[in-house]
Amino acid sequence: MTSAAPLVPFASATADQATVHIDLGERSYPIRIAAGLLGDAATYAALPKAASALIVTNTTVAPLYLQQVRAALAGRYPQVHVVELPDGEAYKDWQTLNLIFDALLQHGCDRKTVLFALGGGVIGDMTGFAAASYMRGVPFVQLPTTLLSQVDSSVGGKTAINHPLGKNMVGAFYQPQLVVCDLASLDSLPPRELSAGLAEVIKYGPIADMAFFEWLELHIDRLRAGDRTAMAQAVKRSVEIKAWVVSQDEKETGLRAVLNFGHTFGHAIEAGMGYGNWLHGEGVGAGMVMAAHLSQELGMVDAAFVARLTRLIERAGLPTRGAVLDAQDNAGAYLEHMRVDKKAEAGEIRFVLIDGPGKATMRGAPDALVRQVIDRCCAPA
C-alpha cells in the first residue's frame, strides 16, 4: 500500500506527559497532557487573575472531579462558583446554556471572571459559547474529562449549541486560555465512551498520518484496556495533528474541514436517531466507513484501504454500519439531514473524502452515488 507523506511531522512521543502549543498569534495557548493535572494548583498558575471563577460541569462528572478542581482553584480565585448541568447531548440547547448565564449574573461575575469547562464535549462546547457571549467575551479554560473531548473538541476553539433543525448550528470560534488533558480522568470512562473517543483518534490516520494509523493498529487493544503509556501517546499525537491543522486555518475556510472526516454521515445518524441515542463518536465511526466507501466509489482509495479502516473501527468497539433512519427512504433521510451540514453550500453537500491513505480532500458527489453508498453501508449487515 502506498501512503501519502504525513501531514504533520511525527514527533517522538514516548513520555507520559507533554505540552502541545497551538499557534494562533495573540490567541495562542498550551494544551497540557499528563496524569494528575486537574487537582494540581500549579496547572493553573499562568492563568489571568480575577475576583471570581465559575466551574461549569455536569451531574456525572461533578462527584468525580469537582472537589479537587475547586480546591486547586481556591488559592487563585477569591470566589469559585459552580453550576452543574444535566448530562447529555440532549441538553446542549439554549435552555441549558442559559443556566450558565443565570449563574454568572446571579453571582455578579464580571468581564474578568474565568470559566472552567469540566466535563466532556457537551460541557466544553456550551461553556465555550457561554464564555464567548457573556458580556461579549470572558476568558475560559477547557478541562476535558473524556477521550473524545481531549483529542478533539476541547482543542481549536469551536463552541456551539444545537438547534432543533441542526447540530452545532449556533456558536462561535472562541479560543480557550488553556486546555488540560488529565489522563487519570480517562480511568473512570465507561467502555462505550472510550470507544467513542477512539473514533476521533482513528480519524487522524486516514486524513493526515498513516504512520500513526499503523501505530493504532498495533496498540488498539492496549488503548481499549486503558494503558496509560499508550493513551498518553494517542492523545498527544491526536492533539499535535489537530493543533497544527487549526493553526493553519482557525476559522475553517478550507483545510480545517478535513477534521470532519466521517462527520457528515455521522451527524445525519445522530440527528436522525435523536441526539444522545448514538454517541457522537459512534456516528463518526460508522460515518468514516461510509465516507471511505464513497471515496472508493470515486476511485480515490482501493477496497483494501476501506477494509483496513473498517477493521480498525470495529476493533475499537465502534459500529461500522449506519443506522436506518427511515424504512421507506433511508438514503433520502440521510440526504435531507446532510443538506443542513455547515459544510454544505447552496444546498450542495461537501464530503470529506480520502484521496489516497493519509490525505483528505473536500468535494461533492452525485446524489445517486451517495444513495448507493448509504444503501450498502446501513444495517442490517
d(C-alpha 328, C-alpha 178), whole Å: 48
Give yes or no for residue 275 binding a second copy (CB under 8 A): no
Q: Phi and psi dihedrals of 264, rounded to 5?
A: -65, -50
Nearest approach, Cβ of 99 to a second copy (angstroms)? 12
Find the binder of a second copy among 88, 166, 276, 332 (CB under 8 A).
166
Q: Is 167 annotated as contributing to ligand binding?
A: yes
Give yes or no for residue 106 binding a second copy (CB under 8 A): yes
Annotated active-site residue 267? The verdict is yes
Give yes or no for residue 92 binding a second copy (CB under 8 A): no
Report the candidate in 144, 153, 79, 89 with the shortest Cα–Cα distance to residue 118. Answer: 144
Give yes or no for residue 19 binding a second copy (CB under 8 A): no
Binding segment (CB under 8 A) for a second copy, from list 17-25, 167-175, 288-296, 299-307:
167-175
Burial class (CB in 10 A: 0-12, 13-18, 19+), 315: middle
Give yes or no for residue 108 binding a second copy (CB under 8 A): yes
Taking a C-beta distance cutoff of 8 angstroms, is the pair 282, 314 a contact? no
Find the binder of a second copy among 23, 41, 48, 110 (CB under 8 A).
110
Q: Is 90 annotated as contributing to ligand binding?
A: yes
Give the list of residues 6+ apart from residue 154 with CB closer than 8 angstroms, or none: 31, 117, 121, 124, 142, 144, 176, 179, 181
Q: Which of 70, 236, 237, 280 is catalytic?
A: 280
For 94-131, letters b (16+ CB in 10 Å) and e give eebbebbeebbeeeebeeebbbbbbbbbbbbbbbbbbb
Q: Phi and psi dihedrals of 229, rounded to 5?
A: -70, -45
DSSP class of 3: -
Annotated active-site residue 136? The verdict is yes
Nearest approach, Cβ of 175 to a second copy (angstroms)? 13
Give yes or no for residue 74 binding a second copy (CB under 8 A): no
Give yes or no for residue 98 binding a second copy (CB under 8 A): yes
Taking a C-beta distance cutoff of 8 angstroms, is the pair 43, 249 a contact? no
Number of residues that bind a second copy (CB under 8 A): 37
Annotated active-site residue 256? The verdict is yes
Nearest approach, Cβ of 252 to a second copy (angstroms)? 8
User: H or E stretch including 87?
Assistant: none
- Cis preceding linkage at 191, omega within 30: no
Q: Phi and psi dihedrals of 60, rounded to 5?
A: -85, -40
Annotated active-site residue 242? The verdict is yes
Q: Is 220 annotated as contributing to ligand binding?
A: no
Give yes or no for residue 137 binding a second copy (CB under 8 A): yes
β strands within 224-343, DSSP E = none
Give yes or no for residue 11 binding a second copy (CB under 8 A): no
Annotated active-site residue 260? The verdict is yes
Annotated active-site residue 263? The verdict is yes
Where is the binding site, in residues? 87-92, 121-125, 145-146, 158, 167, 200, 263, 280
State the residues that interact with a second copy by CB under 8 A.
51-52, 94, 98, 101-102, 105-106, 108, 110-112, 132-137, 158-160, 163, 165-166, 169-173, 251, 339-340, 342, 344-347
Catalytically active residues, by annotation = 136, 158, 200, 242, 252, 256, 260, 263, 267, 280
